[in-house]
Structures are given as C-alpha cells and as structure tokens.
Chain A
C-alpha cells in the first residue's frame, strides 16, 4: 500500500491542496502543500501553483487518527452499519484508518472474510480499513482460526481478536500469543472472565445494587489482564488489552510494564467521560461492555492515559439498530457509537494537549497496528493522511446528525469542544468544510 509514490517524485506532481496557516500538532502556523499523495512542502507563504487553497487559520493539523477498535458490522448487520457508512463516520471524526473488529456475521475468521472487508474498505475509499482477524473459529473460544492464512491474505492481518468475547481458555490464549509471533502479530484481548460476568448488566457496585441490575465486577477484567500479561511474558509475545476500564487494571498494567512485558492497552472515550450513574435512566444507550465504571475509575484511566500506562485511545465504535436499544436494559445489546465524537471527548478530557492527542490517537495506534503510512506528523515526504481540527468550535451532539447508520451515541445533547473541518487520505479530501466529500 504505497500508492502515494505512484505519481513519481512528489515534488514534481501537480499540487492538489494548499492548506494555509495551519498549526501542525499545535505549533506555530505554517502552510502545507499536498501533492502526489504526500505532504510535498511545509513552510510559510508557499506558492499555490494551481493547488486548491484550504484556509487553515485557527485550525490544528493532526496526523490522521487511527482507531484500533471499530465495529463496522458488515457483513451481517448492514442495517446497523456498513463498511461505507462506518468509514464515512470515521472520516468525519478525523480518522484516516480504522481496524475493523472480527465479530461480524460470518465471523472474520478466514482469509476470505477479512479480504472481503478489506476490499469493501478500499471501495468506500474514505479511510483505510484494516481488518482484524478472529483468534478462534467463530469466536467460540475452542480452536484457533487460520491466523497465518489471514496474515498472508491481501488484508495482511496483524491484529487478532475475539472481541465481544474473551479468549478465556488459558491454554488457547497461550497458544495464540505464541503462534502469531511468526508474523509479528498481536492478540487484542477483550478481558472478561466469563464465569464472573454471567448475566452481567452494568458495573458491580453501589449503582447496580440500587438499580437491581446484575453486576459486572472489575475483578473479571483485572483477573484476565493479570493472567494475560504473565502469559505474554512467559512466551515473549505481544499482547494488546482492549478497552481497559478499571483503576485496578491500570495497576496490573503498570506492574507488567515495569517488568518489561510487551503489552499495550487502549481506553475508550466513553470510559474517560461517563460513569455508571448514567444507568440510572435505564436507557440502554448507556449499556456497554465493559460497562461504564465509577468516577474513581474514570480519574485513574485519565491519569494512566496521560502517563502512558494506557497507550492509546480506541473508540470501540459499536453501532446498533434502534430496536436493539429501544427496549428494556437487560435485552439491549451493549455498545456505543464513538468515531464521530472521539476527538471532541478527548479535547474535553485532556484539553488542547495536541502532541499527547496525536500520540494516543494516531501515532501509537498506527505503530501497534503496523500501519506505516499512518500516524506520522505532517512533514515533507510523509503520506498526506491528516485531519484539520477547529479547537474553538463547540457543538451539541445530535444523534440524528451522525453519519453512522445507527443513532446510539451516549453523548446526545452534550456540548463538546472541537470540530473536524477536513480530513485527507493520501492527499485527497474525505471531509471538507466539515462535510463528507462522498
């Protein structure tokens, strides 16, 4: 995937876009000339040379965001989301690459399915869609899927996950961790000890007691992470922890990192902003797995993200059809939209710490996923995958205005800072003036 050089010497290609006076990762304003799919020049008062000019005054340029955890629902639940609609939502959120989770129907546990998703992503052409392969056949947690075949396929899968389910069997988890070393793969674990979360509906604590909803105890996550970091250490493999949600998990991770275990972890925007008190409405738009936790957990997660104990932000964008949310809490599917609001939530949580945001939302996730074209600060010769943010804008989230096919955003009515003005994928805009180009 190095088409950006296909036009030959980038300096010689016809300039396509000139972004004027933009603050690259928050630095002093400069111009960016995009040509031949790359950033051709960076500097003050560049000549347009026929390029279309984009006014970057007051805007911040970030490397295109990279989401390590997206549910695109295709194949199988195209009523909730498609690769195309999810890609559009991603572009509008400032993303240039998303990793599509494997829990589709059929499950992405063969080369055929991952190639199908990869191809659909290419056809949509709004973000790079990097499929994640299932660890076990049918996500059943019983035997390994053909990980090597997925790695060797056109989709070049490197991340494997049974997300939605935990690879609970310790022997199987050990084997998976070991096996993917052959192609520098990583196992992304949805850490949830299933015996401790049977029937679980929300975080186990004061609020679940009051609401009479079966609790999902923090220890069910922490116990699996503790086991998995020890396994990863034992076999010398890479482990990635999905959607870490508790203060206790942060401590387990801190300990593992101190020991030099090759472990990375993600946190979702919703776990950084919302608490289990939201369940009091019994509105399942707040039902998610792992569940929203306490304000003490939220504080610990924020600190860990700043400190780097948590490496990245990933959305766990999980679209659901209306009928799967407009019902009783216990019958609703867990999950929330995230792509279109992630950056705003992070600006709300972290403030305008641009380098930190670029690190946690673009550079590090790209590195974990092995997406070499992504996650690079705009500079001469770098693939022009970038997004322009207006930090001064504030917007009130309206579910009906989401580009996603679903409406299950937990931020409805909330006013959040920041707006994505434009997103470029290999030098071509996917979003301009805050609107999707196609």
Chain B
C-alpha cells in the first residue's frame, strides 16, 4: 500500500495509527539485551544525506540496524555528490546497488519526490529543504500519545519559525489527520501565507504566545536561527526571545498536564530557556528515543510489513 513516505499527507489516520502501534512494539526491543530483530535481514537501506544531520542519520541508522538491514551511509561530503554528480546519477547508482530503501535528507524541497521517480525502492523523506520531515511528525505524535494517552482532541501550539520549518508542515498535516487542533504561533513574518488552506483547514494562527499557552496541551518549540534577523524577520534575538521564547514564567501559564516539545537541536536562551528544556514537562530526550522506534516501524512497514 504505502510505497514511499514523502509527506505527512501520505498518511491517513489508519496508516499513521498502524505506524504508531508498530513503533510501540519496536520500543520493547530497545529494552532487550539483544536489541535486534531479523525483520529486514538481507535488505539494503541507504542513508543519502546532502546535509549534515548527524542526529537524524544516526537515528535512521540505528533503526535499520536493529531490524538487521544492511546500511550504507552515502554522505554528500567527500563523495562524488560533492563533485557535482546529479541527484539522478546518484539515484541510478543506488539503484544499481540494489537499494531497497533510500532515506534522503536534502536542502532542496521536493528532492525526495524527484528521487522517487528514479529509483525502484522506497524513498523516505528525512527532511527536505523547508518542506517536510514526516518521521519527525510521527515521532512527535508518538511522544504525545505516550505522555498524554491520546492525540485526538489535543490542542497543540507550534511556536516559532513556521515559514522555514519542515517539522511544522509535517506536524500540521499529521496532527490534523489524527484529530488534534493545531495553533501556529510566531511573528507574522515567520508564518507562511494561507497556511491553513495550504495544509489543513482548521489550523489556527496566533501572534500572541501568552494568549495561547493556557489552553495548550502541547507546546512544540521550533528552532529559530539567529541569522533570520539579518533578513529582517525579527529585529533581534533578544526581542524574539522576549516575545516568542518559552521561559519559566511563561511555562507556568500552561495547564499542569501540558508538555513541552522540541525537535532539536535547541537554541537555549533563544526559543527555549534552559530551565524549560530541562524541566519534567520537557519530552526532548524521549523524542530522540522514540525517533528510533518510529523509524524502525516505518522501515519495517514500507519494506514489506504493510501488506
């Protein structure tokens, strides 16, 4: 049924729930002495990374290895890729190597879609430009469900640089599919035009973080690059932190049960204060662990389990 995972929009509620349920089973493997399943023995998974993202690559690598797949790391740095080989030529090379799945991280939006035209195996989008990062949305959903027991009906505030965030787009799509209510919060310069119509009707937008916090079950803080201020998205890092950063006093406005998420890597002191990142509400460390389980589930289901 599902051949590739390119976008949060590829997942209907049943498929997304199946992935989350499978991930929960996979999580039990992590607690075992031998953290390995034979499910993908003899299958080849290629990690094709055109951006430095050690944390995501390691997460996918661990997931594939725990399923006994052969893993090839194909990094753009120091390979033929950096010498100007085209994505299509690289795709044909991977095809010749017999890749059953290609996990691709790429700075250009849509690169995984292009790749899917040129390889026979499954393509997993591990983050493309300012477009999407669907496994991040799945691991975020998994984390919400693990902490709060459900996803449907939750109020989720996604805060920060939505415009440039692939995490935000995938989350808006997946959370809408799973019945959560999403409010995007940030300065108007960083909220893309027509986002509700573009992704999920019912998505709300607010420029006032303090007003949103008291009714939020989940606050997801997005990474905000300081360089954005050079392009006049906001006047200064300090003003950004003051208006949209999550610090201790702001966190106190949340309901008691609410959780704080961050996809990492964090800019401590910018979008999130250290006391928040390290508080019991924070799920940041769990998100990393859950990432491996969710990616195991996705690889397992894409490469044969989903029949």
Q: Which chain B residues border A207 with CB–CB below 8 Å?
A: 198
Question: Which listed residue, A208, A214, A281, touches B113 by the CB 8 Å rule?
Answer: A281
What residue in chain B is nearest A282 (Cβ atoms)? B110
Report the interface size class on chain B.
Answer: 20 to 34
A204 to B192, alpha carbons, bound, how many Å?
Answer: 9
A22 to B169, alpha carbons, bound, how many Å?
Answer: 58
Q: Which chain A residues border B192 with CB–CB below 8 Å?
A: 208-209, 215
CB proximity of B83 to chain A, nearest CB, Å:
15
Q: Which chain A residues in 203-233 approach chain B with CB under 8 Å?
A: 204-215
Question: Which listed residue, A282, A283, A327, touches B88 by the CB 8 Å rule?
Answer: A327
Check A212 against B86 for contact (C-beta < 8 Å): no
Report the interface size class on chain A.
Answer: 20 to 34
A206-B194, A282-B110 as given contacts; A330 in contact with B129, CB under 8 Å: yes
Check A215 against B193 for contact (C-beta < 8 Å): yes
Q: Which chain B residues border A326 with CB–CB below 8 Å?
A: 86, 88
Q: Which chain A residues border B131 with CB–CB below 8 Å?
A: 211-213
A330 to B199, alpha carbons, bound, how many Å?
Answer: 21
Q: Which chain B residues in 83-108 approach chain A with CB under 8 Å?
A: 86-88, 106-108
Q: Which chain A residues in 188-208 approach chain B with CB under 8 Å?
A: 201, 204-208
- Asked if A411 is at the interface (CB within 8 A of a chain B CB), the reply is no
Q: Which chain A residues in 322-347 approach chain B with CB under 8 Å?
A: 323, 326-331
Q: Which chain A residues border B39 with CB–CB below 8 Å?
A: none
Question: Which listed residue, B110, B193, B194, touches A211 by the CB 8 Å rule?
Answer: B110
Interface of B toward A, CB cutoff 8 Å: 86-88, 106-111, 113-114, 128-132, 166, 169, 192-195, 197-199
What residue in chain A is nearest B116 (Cβ atoms)? A282
Check A329 against B110 for contact (C-beta < 8 Å): yes
Q: Which chain B residues border A323 with CB–CB below 8 Å?
A: 86
CB proximity of B144 to chain A, nearest CB, Å:
23
Check A212 against B197 for contact (C-beta < 8 Å): no
Check B87 against A212 for contact (C-beta < 8 Å): no
Q: Which chain A residues border B169 with CB–CB below 8 Å?
A: 210, 212
What residue in chain A is nearest B129 (Cβ atoms)? A212
A34 to B303, alpha carbons, bound, how many Å?
Answer: 69
A-B contact pairs, 22 of them (CB 8 A): A206-B198, A209-B192, A209-B194, A209-B198, A209-B199, A210-B198, A211-B109, A212-B109, A212-B129, A212-B131, A212-B169, A213-B129, A215-B192, A282-B110, A282-B113, A327-B86, A327-B88, A328-B87, A329-B110, A330-B107, A330-B108, A330-B110
A278 to B112, alpha carbons, bound, how many Å?
Answer: 17
Check A327 against B193 for contact (C-beta < 8 Å): no
Q: Which chain A residues border B166 with CB–CB below 8 Å?
A: 212
Q: Which chain A residues border B195 with CB–CB below 8 Å?
A: 209
Check B86 against A204 for contact (C-beta < 8 Å): no
Check B193 against A209 for contact (C-beta < 8 Å): yes
Check A212 against B130 for contact (C-beta < 8 Å): yes
Among B86, B87, B109, B131, chain A packs the most CB atoms within 10 A around the CB of: B109
Check B114 against A282 for contact (C-beta < 8 Å): yes
Q: Which chain A residues border B111 with CB–CB below 8 Å?
A: 282, 328
A281 to B109, alpha carbons, bound, how many Å?
Answer: 11
A327-B86, A328-B87 as given contacts; A204 in contact with B130, CB under 8 Å: no
